[in-house]
Every structure is written in structure tokens, then in C-alpha cells.
Amino acid sequence: MQQQEGNSSKLSEDASARSSFHPPNIKSAIDWEKPDFDELDLCMEITTYILNEQ
């Protein structure tokens, strides 16, 4: 009987491991048109740096 309990707990662990999997964040075409603030901020910093160095 203990062996069956051990197997059932292992199965529930496997199921929880599968449910906690998150696929990589893939941007859709619409998301690429709307950059995150951090991305926009980085672009502005790089642009400012390049313009100041010329």
C-alpha cells in the first residue's frame, strides 16, 4: 500500500511540474509595434550618446 501512495505522489509532482512550465515570451507583430518603455528608454539613451559623441 505504501508503494501505491509513493507512486501517486510522484504522479502529482509530475503534473505540477508540467503546469508550472511557461513557454518563452514570443512577441506578436502588434507587440513589436508597441515597444516597452524600457526598450524605448534604452534607444533614446543610445541615440543621445551617439549624437553627443559626434
What does each of the 54 residues of the chain score in pLDDT, given as a tens digit?
A: 444 444 555 555 555 555 666 667 777 777 767 767 788 889 999 999 999 987
DSSP label of 20:
T
pTM above 0.75, yes or no: no
3-state secondary structure of 21: coil
Show me where the domains of the chain are located.
25-54
* Residue 49: C-alpha distances to residues 40, 41, 44 (Å): 14, 12, 8
The helix (run of H) or strand (run of E) holding residue 9 is: helix 2-19
Which single residue is written with the C-alpha cell 526598450?
A: 39
Question: How distant is the alpha carbon of residue 32 from its chain centre?
Answer: 16
Res 34: pLDDT: 73
